[in-house]
Amino acid sequence: MIDFLVIGGGIAGASAAARLSELGSVVLLEREDALAYHASGRSAAMFEETYGKPSTIALNQASKDWHLNVNGSRDLPRGVMLIGRAADEQDFDHDLAAMKMHRLTLQEATELLPIINKETVTHVGYHKDAWDVDTDAAVQRYVKMLRSNSGMVITGAEVSKIARTKHGWLISAGKEYSARQIINAAGAWADQIADLAGVTPLGLQPLRRSIARVAAPDGHDVSRWPMLFGPGERWYAKPDAGALLVSPADEEPVEPMDAWADDMTLAEGIARYEEHVTAPVQRMIANWAGLRTFTPDRGLAIGQSEDPSFWWCAGQGGYGFQTAPAACQLLHDLVAGTPSELGRETVEALSPARFKA
């Protein structure tokens, strides 16, 4: 019998499986033919310490050392710039304070972003302490850790049935697996997995976010440009391998699916971006969409369900990669019954028990 069966092969499942392999035998099941196929494979790939709710920020802070000194994000500095127009002043002031940025003059901003439109942009905030994340390296690092502890990764294994047994669980996913404990890290499908197990769902909502990869403005090397946000997170743009990613930061409620981008939504996002720069988008190279799955209060859910052998590691929203190191350590500590370094208030804010009626 397996000690821990982890369902979901994104960054949440891969990191959870790796940490739990220190405590016992682990099998990681992924419904697709490759790991990190859905949200984890479509991430904006940034570590931004001040991004998210207080409980998310606590996880970010506890994950920072891993990202910078283990996974190598320190070698990928990016920085974040908030740019807005006169009508955005209220949202701009809120985001500037929340993300602990400092104001830049338009001249200072132009030195970092030469295509900023001085005729439309009136407010600029910036901080340098944000980094690109090598997402593939992060997933593979955790998989290597899992396998070094004799854990198994099985892809193409969609869970179709979960039954309670005297000593744990019987899970059908192409073949049958017996496990003492289940870790539900199934992303957009996590509530469906709970239903199969007879566990109360959390009320998770997948939200579609679309991204366009567009050609860099002629004559510009964008590699050192910061990531750009519009106030209220109404759009963002980020350099990517010599091009730019532009997103309308949309949040369309959808059912769990292999998401695709909506052309009109992308056009609206590109138009918002173009309002702030002097170089319009000339050519779209590619586009895609991913699902950011949130709990009702938009905080992560890490901990036991009402069944003590069924654990949640879900609701990562857009914070999966940057929170993963601390999130999987918290899950490890909860399963092992050891104190967490995060503190009681944060642990309670992340507990799935907060959604009990």
The domains found in the chain, sorted by start residue, are 2-45+134-201+297-355 (3.50.50.60), 80-127+205-294 (3.30.9.10)
Query: Which pLDDT score, from 0 to 100, does residue 62 have?
Result: 98
Query: Which pLDDT score, from 0 to 100, does residue 229 have?
Result: 96
Contact 52, 297 (CB under 8 A): no
C-alpha–C-alpha distance, residues 298 and 52, integer Å:
9
Contact 76, 134 (CB under 8 A): yes
Query: Which pLDDT score, from 0 to 100, does residue 357 have?
Result: 56
**Max alpha carbon distance in the chain (Å)?**
70
How many Cβ atoms from other residues are within 10 Å of residue 337's Cβ? 6
C-alpha–C-alpha distance, residues 78 and 127, integer Å:
10
pLDDT in tens, 83-127: 999 999 999 999 999 999 999 999 999 999 999 999 999 999 999
Is-above-0.75 flag for pTM? yes
Query: Which pLDDT score, from 0 to 100, does residue 44 have?
Result: 84
Contact 270, 264 (CB under 8 A): no
Beta-carbon contacts of 204 under 8 Å, excluding residues fewer than 6 positions away, are 188, 190, 191, 293, 294, 295, 314, 315
Determine the residue type at 64. Answer: K
Average pLDDT, the chain: 96
pLDDT in tens, 52-85: 999 999 999 999 999 999 998 888 899 999 999 9
Residue with tokens 């699902």: 291
Residue 41's pLDDT band (boundaries 50, 70, 90)? Answer: confident
Residue 339's pLDDT band (boundaries 50, 70, 90)? Answer: very high
Determine the residue type at 56. Answer: T
Residue 39's pLDDT band (boundaries 50, 70, 90)? Answer: confident
